[in-house]
Amino acid sequence: MALVLVVDDEESIQRLLRFSLEREGFEVLTAGNGVEALKVAYARRPDLIVLDLMLPGMSGLDFLKFLRADEKLRETPVIILSCRGEEKDRVLGLETGADDYIPKPFGVRELIARVRAQLRRRAPEKKRDKVVRGQLVIDGERLTVS
């Protein structure tokens, strides 16, 4: 089960994402600001972070800069989820190190699909199993079908 950290100062967004992601089988942690999010990220090492940009205390971009500068956390995929949806904001977020950018308002199904896509890209190669369906045999180890 992948661990997702949701960083947003709006509790309603935190609750919505927690409910939606947990329903899809993810474990979810939340943080309401950048400083708290850094503490959680260092302590729990999430598999993915969903990050708002407009946070109290430390902006989402500053959080992202700290994350990318840290040797242990720099490879953590980050999806920015922000009401700042103009092209210049999206480009700045991606250039700062985000892996994806979704402007608010957003669709939960799309967000979950993007979370899964980011996690798939970073998942270690799985052991290939043998699948048998009637007379069809797919052997992933030998890369054969009979």
Query: Residue 127: pLDDT band by 50, 70, 90 thresholds?
Result: low
CATH of the domain at 109: 3.40.50.2300
Query: If you average pLDDT over residues 95-123, what whole number do you get?
Result: 94
Most confident option among 29-38, 84-93, 122-131, 133-142 = 29-38
Query: If you average pLDDT over residues 92-104, what whole number do you get?
Result: 95
Is residue 18's pLDDT more than 90? Answer: yes
Q: CA–CA separation, 95 vs 132, rounded Å?
A: 46
User: What does pLDDT average to over the chain?
Assistant: 92
Structure tokens at 133: 């369906």
CB distance 14 to 86 below 8 Å: no
Residues whose CB is less than 8 angstroms from the CB of residue 118 and which lie 6 or more positions away in sequence, other chains included: 48, 77, 79, 99, 100
Number of domains observed in the structure of the chain: 1
Query: If you average pLDDT over residues 84-88, what whole number do you get?
Result: 90
Domain interval for residue 14: 3-145
- DSSP H/E element including 114: helix 108-122
Query: If you average pLDDT over residues 35-47, what whole number do you get?
Result: 96
